[in-house]
Amino acid sequence: AQSVTQLDSHVSVSEGTPVLLRCNYSSSYSPSLFWYVQHPNKGLQLLLKYTSAATLVKGINGFEAEFKKSETSFHLTKPSAHMSDAAEYFCVVRYDKVIFGPGTSLSVIP
């Protein structure tokens, strides 16, 4: 069955430290991959997407993600967390359907 796993339901980092949000997918072939962010009371916003052109994808607000086929992973990273990064993050895979992961809540401590 096609699925997407976000290994951490909640991640807490200090401001200025690196962020790592993990995502793994299950598939016998490479799907389309996306990361979305959802701030409280706001709509979902696309951070970045993997389109098979390059394994390292750069997104908005300093985020990037690396597609690793051998590990079926698409982890989201940022070198230095900012207070405004506190939000819910969703890893999304698209096969014939769009499947959202359960989400990771990111807290940033001043």
Partner 1 sequence: GAGVSQSPRYKVAKRGQDVALRCDPISGHVSLFWYQQALGQGPEFLTYFQNEAQLDKSGLPSDRFFAERPEGSVSTLKIQRTQQEDSAVYLCASSSRLAEYNEQFFGPGTRLTVL
The residue (of 10 and 14) whose beta carbon lies closer to partner 1 is 10
For residues 71 and 29, what is the distance between their CA atoms, to the nearest angstrom? 12
Q: Which of these ranges, 17-25, 44-52, 60-68, 70-78, lies near partner 1 under the rule CB under 8 A?
A: 44-52
The residue (of 29 and 110) whose beta carbon lies closer to partner 1 is 29
For residues 98 and 33, what is the distance between their CA atoms, to the nearest angstrom? 10
Q: Which of 2, 27, 44, 64 binds partner 1 (CB under 8 A)?
A: 44
* Binding to partner 1, residues 88-107 (CB under 8 A): 90, 94, 97-103
Q: Which of 45, 61, 80, 107 binds partner 1 (CB under 8 A)?
A: 45
Do 13 and 108 touch, CB atoms closer than 8 A?
yes
31 closest CA partner among 103, 77, 99, 89: 99
Going by their DSSP bridges, the two strands 10-14 and 104-109 should be labelled as parallel
Helices (H), 1-110: none
- Residues lying near partner 1 in the complex (CB under 8 A) are found at 32, 34, 36, 41-46, 49, 51, 90, 94, 97-103
